[in-house]
Amino acid sequence: MNTTACGTFVVRLSPLPFEGDPGQPAQATGAGASATLARLEINKQIEGDLVATTRGQMLSAVPGMPGSAGYVAMELVDGALHGRRGSFVLQHSGTMSRGTPQLAVTVVPDSATGELQGLAGTFRIIVAGGQHRYEFDYTLP
């Protein structure tokens, strides 16, 4: 049975050293363009039908073209979904092509624990009016 959870969240992103570089994001150049690679720590406080905290890491690339970027992330979610306790991992893959976004955030198969074992689903992030909201379409056995 498909179920939808909705609510809000607050996210905190903190820069981390990029692998192999002790201090600054990596710069790449070629063919007249440049890109900045960065690594960030993700921490969220989620409220609503999912009450949870998260921790994870993001890798991002921002090229020289305004409005274009890409990121991947893995995020461990720990809390209660419609009252069922457990944890699970979300996998993010996002791109922005000259202002047009594409984002996929899905539950990693077989990552759920506790009362959430068998969880599958997609997590939509909606940013409007300076607030982050989510719609989480999921199934449980």
β-strands 33-48, 26-30: how paired? antiparallel
Query: Does pTM top 0.85 for this prediction?
Result: yes
Q: What is the pLDDT of residues 41-94, one digit of tens each?
A: 999 999 999 999 999 999 999 988 889 999 999 999 999 999 999 999 999 999
Of 1-10, 24-33, 69-78, 97-106, which gets the smallest average pLDDT? 24-33
Contacts of 78 by beta carbon, 8 Å cutoff, 6+ apart: 52, 53, 54, 86, 87
Contact between 81 and 49 (Cβ < 8 Å): yes
**CATH top-level class for 2-15+34-139?**
mainly beta
Q: What is the pLDDT of residues 35-46, one digit of tens each?
A: 888 999 999 999
In the predicted structure, residue 32 carries a pLDDT above the cut 70: no
